[in-house]
């Protein structure tokens, strides 16, 4: 079935944002550095403080990744909003295809890594009498995780494949985007910006379910940036100026006022503006080599914790000490293995699973169409 022509005025002429794709992979890798401290958490039932400066290899050179790699999650959300606006605003049939596309893309790998972590955690618990990092390995949290509803406010904390919490919150941002899509086509910048400001204002006012509100806020912030780009307001020079201004604002908020959440907000959009400036300046598509690098980011993000848990089980069982994680070669191995898993997963699992889900859905529709 062919797609209809794009709705006029709702899609940028630049079809591929290569630097943005590369930045997604780099952001996934940043999270790996933040979670590297897990290697030094012993079998305990409560939070354990890790002195990252003391145990992390290359800490002197890469301290900002070890200490702040977690803010890459907010960047993911903002990029998602920009990309969804780019893909769906001009697609007249988007609302009908939206949820099937999301299920086909996200659920297969989520379910696979969820099951794998459940098995690995059972093995870890059998040896140590407690779970590794994420301690809520019960039926309730497993059931919530099956539906990607495990961080909507009903949870006690992160569970099973812990990093997937951000994916859970993003599902609600997708739902809001789907509901608002008709209005976004009429006024993409103002409606997206209004949604972003409202969600973030509620977060800063300490409303319940802060992670969900921040996700929605960042997501629609990214969509608002796309809306501004549609109006021609984001040329390379403007983007560079905005990136510089937001960077200075982030430094002031963080270093002078010690407002971490506000600094993260400014810094996230500084990074987004900087990356979009590179893409806007790349008129000859010289960065096309980076086009498919972002495809691995989802796999890197979901595979790195099961890989880490498997390595911990192996290290504890064979060496009896996690001291090997202090070695630079081990850090490079962990990051390299996670990145390779991301690429392999996308090629040999995610894409085939996605095609299979879409094929099965098409077969289910055929009898209804011919009846």
Confidence of residue 3 (pLDDT cuts 50, 70, 90): low
Mention every residue, 6+ apart, whose C-beta is less than 8 A from residue 88: 94, 98, 177, 181
In the chain, what are the helix, strand and coil shares in percent, each to the nearest 5?
A: 75, 0, 25
Q: Provide the token pair at 327.
A: 């070695």
> Rounded to 10 degrees, what is the CA torsion of 269, 270, 273, 275?
-110
Residue 2 has pLDDT above 80, yes or no: no
Q: Provide the token pair at 366.
A: 């055929």
Q: What does the pLDDT read at residue 291? A: 83
Of the candidates 213, 226, 207, which has an alpha carbon nearest to the alpha carbon of residue 169?
Answer: 213
Q: What does the pLDDT read at residue 103? A: 97
Q: What does the pLDDT read at residue 368? A: 53
Q: Provide the token pair at 247.
A: 């960077």
Mention every residue, 6+ apart, whose C-beta is less than 8 A from residue 281: 236
pTM summary value: 0.95
Q: What does the pLDDT read at residue 150? A: 96
Residue 239 near residue 277 (C-beta atoms within 8 A): yes
90-141 pLDDT per residue, tens: 999 999 999 999 999 999 999 999 999 999 999 999 999 999 999 999 999 9
256-295 pLDDT per residue, tens: 999 999 999 999 999 999 999 999 998 888 888 888 899 9
| Lowest-pLDDT choice from 11-15, 23-27, 158-162 | 11-15
In this prediction, what percent of the chain has a pLDDT beyond 90?
Answer: 88
Segment 331-341 mean pLDDT: 98
Q: What does the pLDDT read at residue 370? A: 52
Q: What does the pLDDT read at residue 1? A: 42
Residue 243 near residue 278 (C-beta atoms within 8 A): no
d(CA 222, CA 108): 26
Mention every residue, 6+ apart, whose C-beta is less than 8 A from residue 196: 216, 217, 218, 219, 220, 221, 223, 224
Of the candidates 36, 61, 67, 77, which has an alpha carbon nearest to the alpha carbon of residue 271?
Answer: 77
In this prediction, what percent of the chain has a pLDDT beyond 70?
Answer: 98
Confidence of residue 182 (pLDDT cuts 50, 70, 90): very high
Segment 231-251 mean pLDDT: 94
Q: Where are the domains of the chain?
A: 18-233+292-370
């Amino acid at each position: 079935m062919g797609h209809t022509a794009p709705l006029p005025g709702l899609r940028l002429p630049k079809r591929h944002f290569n630097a943005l794709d590369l930045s997604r992979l780099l952001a996934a890798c940043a999270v790996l550095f933040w979670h590297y401290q897990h290697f030094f958490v012993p079998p305990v039932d409560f939070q354990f403080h890790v002195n990252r400066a003391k145990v992390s290899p290359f800490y002197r050179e890469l301290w900002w990744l070890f200490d702040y790699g977690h803010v890459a999650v907010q960047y993911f959300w903002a990029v998602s909003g920009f990309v969804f606006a780019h893909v769906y605003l001009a697609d007249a049939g988007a609302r009908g295809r939206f949820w099937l596309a999301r299920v086909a893309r996200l659920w297969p790998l989520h379910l696979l890594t969820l099951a794998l972590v459940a098995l690995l955690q059972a093995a870890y618990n059998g040896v140590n009498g407690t779970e590794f990092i994420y301690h809520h390995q019960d039926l309730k949290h497993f059931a919530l995780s099956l539906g990607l509803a495990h961080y909507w406010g009903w949870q006690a904390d992160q569970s099973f494949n812990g990093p997937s919490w951000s994916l859970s919150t993003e599902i609600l941002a997708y739902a809001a985007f789907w509901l608002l899509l008709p209005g976004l086509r009429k006024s993409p910048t103002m409606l997206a910006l209004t949604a972003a400001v409202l969600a973030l204002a509620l977060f800063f006012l300490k409303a319940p379910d802060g992670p969900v509100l921040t996700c929605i806020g960042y997501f629609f912030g990214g969509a608002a940036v796309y809306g501004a780009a549609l109006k021609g307001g984001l040329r390379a020079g403007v983007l560079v100026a905005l990136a510089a201004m937001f960077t200075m604002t982030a430094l002031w908020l963080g270093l002078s006022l010690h407002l971490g959440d506000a600094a993260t907000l400014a810094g996230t959009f500084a990074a987004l503006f900087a990356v979009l400036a590179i893409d806007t300046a790349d008129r000859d598509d010289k960065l096309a080599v980076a086009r498919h690098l972002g495809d691995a980011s989802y796999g890197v993000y979901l595979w790195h914790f099961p890989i880490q848990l498997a390595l911990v089980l192996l290290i504890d069982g064979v060496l009896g000490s996690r001291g090997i994680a202090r070695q630079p070669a081990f850090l490079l191995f962990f990051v390299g293995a996670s990145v390779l898993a991301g690429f392999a997963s996308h090629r040999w699992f995610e894409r085939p699973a996605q095609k299979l889900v879409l094929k099965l859905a098409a077969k289910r529709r055929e009898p209804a169409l011919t009846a």
